[in-house]
Chains A and B, each alone.
Chain A
Amino acid sequence: MAITRRQFLKRSAVTAGALLGPSLFEHPFVRRALADTIGDRYLVVLYLQGGNDGLNTVIPVSGALRPAYDAARTTGKGGLNITPSQLGATLLGSDPGTGTPLALHPGLTGFKQLWNTGELAVIQGCGYPNYSLSHDESKVIWQTGNPFGVGSLNGTGWLGRHLAANYGATDIPGVTIDYTVAPEYRETATSVLAVPRLADFGFPYDDYSVDDVAAKRQAFADLCASASAGANATDVYIGNSGTAALTSSESYPALHDLYRSQRGAFNDAYAALDTGTARRLREVAKVVYGVSQGAPNVAARFFQLLNDGYDTHSDQGAAETDGQHYLLHREVGDAVKLFRDDLVDMGVWSKVAILVWSEFSRRIPQNDNGTDHGSQGPMFVIGGAVAGGLYGNHPNIADTALDDEGNTVYTQDANPFRSTDFRDVYGTMLKNWVNVPAATILSSLLLLDGGDPASYWTVANFDLGFL
């Protein structure tokens, strides 16, 4: 499914500035995040939609795994082989399992800079048992943290469950930079806003006549206030929630103007990158800046954005700078690096963590000029407080170790290719960044599998070490 269904967007003619009035002091119905376990931190989830080719993202340079790499990724026309000499600028360290020297895809120079400052954690071999090759199915598994469809975890996002337990209906703990709320945040107890662009966000007024908006606003506010003042609990609830909706629809767009007026140089820098990821990260930066500056009636600390296009069945490209995969990596690497610099400048970088995931990696042997759906792949965690480094193990890409689909195998065996269950990465974030106790995580957020400990996630490790 494509991410948007609109045919074209009509911009609301009203800016938040025109509506600022005495009501934007701390509004009683827009409470600050209550008893928030995340405290003064921020969490940004970045989804690489389509299934990012992990083997050409975290690449064996030489040593034990390189021959298998060379066998799987060919040279010549359509070949996806990236040579050691092309990896000189993006070297990482050695694979913990096999000692193989690793490097990032040449397009990820942005991530390499974060590696140099110790702020990039590369977590290898992330996946789950009985992996699915279906986009929809695997995506839902990652978003719900629920590979086996356990009933109590169905239908809610792994972060959504945390938000629902800690926030109320008029709180806005999170923002998705999209038209609909990210499934990672799906829940029914609190409000996660879906805001593709703050400048266009606002209370939905008909822009036919801008002069009438103030009158519409007043009438709406009065109708909500009247319900809030009534005796019926349901009606009161809707009145209160409507007022909170109006308030936040004005407080969030104000962050756009605040950022543009106070962070003009960075604003221009994102524009200069001219990519979707840069623009979406700038929206996140606007909210982070506003919250950190104490802008009224904004308290969101959880974010999500995605970059699409990773389903590179054909014409994937290797190291060439006009290849699909290269361009995707350049877009994300450069945007995240700029975002990092922006937040360093704001003085909040040590309070921000970015989690990067994809719904699967890709098949080890390439096809004609691309790759098909695969299994375990790398995740990244990036932030000022992150303990950068290589975590987990590179999956075993030797031909003899692949399954019938040509994919690496999930294993929890204590061998040099042990996989990282993605739920351990989530759990490490929840425990060490969002301050949720492990017992709480395992009782209501993520549930252990049953079954053979070598093949299933039966023991949690929420201290993988990157946070």
Chain B
Amino acid sequence: MGDENTVLTAAEARHLLRRTGFGAAADDVDRIVSGGETRGQTADRLVGMKPKVIRPNGKDPYLAHNKWIRSLVKTRTPLNSKLALFWHDHFATAVSKVGDVGLMADQIKLFHKMATGNFKDFVKAVNRNAAMMEFLDTVRNFKDEPNENYARELQELFTLGVNDLAGNPNYVQDDVVQIARAFTGWYYDRHGDAALDPDSHDFMADFPERGPKVIYQQTGGFGAAGRSFTVNGEGAGEIDAVIDIIFQHTDTDGKKTVARRIAHRLLEFYAHPDPATSVVDEVVAASGFDTSWELAPLIRAILVHDDFYTTMVPAPFGATSQKSVKWPVDYVVTTLRLLDLRLRGRDQSLQGGNYSSVYDHLTNMGQVLLDPPSVFGWDWETGWISTATLLARYTFARDATAARGHGSTSFRPDRLIDLSLSDPGDIVDAVTDLLGVTDQLTAAERDTLIGYATDGGANPTLNLGDETVRNTKLNGLFALVLQSPAYQLH
């Protein structure tokens, strides 16, 4: 049991760095441990890093995607970079419908900028984000032909959720209809800036049959009168007023619905699936998220909570242990960073194996940035895992460890571990330490790796100075660990 004042062990430091970023580099772990940092101190430092706001643009989605990956591999603010991926999944928008890479790049830039900021302001910005307006049809929402797509997903996915944590509905169809009215007539200009065309906007006087612009008369704790989003007049201010009301919505427990939902989602992202409601409420209370709507304190509250540390349970994993499956982008970027391996050129390709672009690898793993399968984002956890997607991970692992050539695009294990090691157990441990999974493998699994290294004991020691031995067994060990079930997990 611990809290923000608990001094981090090396294992906890590794876990914290891994879950918030892309792999735990030994130097970063040492810094935390030798500094005697507590959970709170490290969390503050990580959350407080000034983000590098990127705008991954390109002539086509392929190039923009590769640019984004390259920035992830190089990022010095991994918490923010990884969190931007979370927001990309949360506010999922696909370039294959939006059609404009520049607009997508603007959206990704917004995610980087707002990742740890004020969530209410964030949602208000998403209302007006051109790529989102295109994707969820705000630009096709007119007074004569209302389009409910954004009004529905705004509630269902971005803020309230269909049901609260107790399973009760958070809104009804009429709320969707009324909220859609607020967004009628919105468009974006050639700079991607949103504006309201009053001629296409639904004004109550013109549509008396649609009733007053009032929402949440049946849910949300506002009583039978609900809440009007036109108290300050009709027009451009309605979409902000709608957000203000949504953030006041309370669930059947009387708690702020949006606060619980976002905290729940962030706990799923950082910790494990199905977080307990009590944990959700604890991190909301500790951070004041339900009043301030500031994401940084909420994330910090998660990172110091015991629940965050439960997935670092070592092998063997029990039936009730909670493990989380690494996202494909996490798998790829973490591996590249830990191996200090560069991708090459506009294709951002590995220089080994099939020499494929990272884009193709990630396509086969089931996650193409900028092109989520739908507004529901990606399916997490075992949704990432199938025969085909695992083969894609294994192929990536092989291509990375088979990159033999010259310079920074080749795999250079000599720079990663001590080549004077000759005991196979020490060598296996050096590899698993570097990849951060030493305690995630059982004794039997470690023996399997030792057995591989020694050819079943035929070669009780290894001479890593021998080029053939190194290229066969050392590269082979790296590939096996990258392909192991344990490495797919947090």
Contact = CB atoms under 8 A, between A and B. Distances in A.
B409 to A, nearest CB: 12
B419 interface: no
Interface residues of B, number: 78
A227 B390 CA distance: 15
Nearest to A207: B402
A219 B452 contact: yes
Contacts of B451: 219
Contacts of A321: none
B399 to A, nearest CB: 7
Closest 4 interchain pairs by CB?
Answer: A155-B373, A5-B357, A232-B317, A227-B485
B375 A237 contact: no
B197 to A, nearest CB: 21
Interface of B: 60-62, 94, 96-97, 99, 137, 149, 153, 316-319, 321, 323-325, 347, 349, 353-357, 359-360, 363-364, 366, 372-376, 378-379, 381-383, 385-391, 394-395, 397-399, 401-402, 404, 442, 444-445, 448-449, 451-452, 455-456, 468, 471-473, 475-476, 479-480, 483-486, 488-489
Given A204-B394, A219-B451, A234 B489 contact: yes
26 contacts: A1-B62, A4-B360, A5-B359, A7-B355, A9-B354, A154-B373, A169-B385, A179-B364, A188-B373, A188-B378, A188-B379, A188-B383, A190-B386, A192-B388, A193-B387, A194-B388, A203-B394, A204-B395, A204-B397, A204-B398, A206-B475, A208-B404, A232-B318, A238-B325, A238-B489, A239-B485
B263 to A, nearest CB: 23
A170 B94 CA distance: 28
Given A151-B149, A237-B385, A5 B347 contact: yes
Given A212-B473, A216-B452, A216-B476, A170 B317 contact: no
A35 interface: no
Nearest to B61: A1
Contacts of B448: 219, 222-223, 226
Interface of A: 1, 4-10, 134, 136-137, 140, 149, 151-152, 154-156, 169-170, 172, 179-181, 186, 188-194, 203-209, 212, 215-216, 218-220, 222-224, 226-227, 230-235, 237-239, 241-242, 244-245, 248-249
A235 B489 contact: yes
Nearest to A186: B373
B485 to A, nearest CB: 4
Contact of A154 (B61, B97, B355): B97
B378 to A, nearest CB: 8
B319 A248 contact: no
B318 A231 contact: yes
Contacts of B444: 226
B355 A6 contact: yes
Nearest to B375: A151
Nearest to A203: B394
A223 B389 CA distance: 18
Given A5-B357, A155-B373, A204 B385 contact: no
A5 B398 contact: no
A155 B374 CA distance: 5
Nearest to B62: A1
B356 A238 contact: no
Nearest to B371: A155
A206 B479 contact: yes
Contact of A245 (B153, B387, B480): B387
B354 A212 contact: no
B394 A223 contact: no
A209 B471 contact: yes
A209 B472 contact: yes
Contacts of A189: 386
Contacts of B318: 231-232
A169 B386 contact: yes
A223 B317 contact: no
B381 A219 contact: no
B387 A7 contact: no
The winner among A156, A190, A204, A216 for most chain B CB atoms within 10 A is: A204
Contacts of B96: 136-137, 140
A170 to B, nearest CB: 6
A152 B324 CA distance: 26
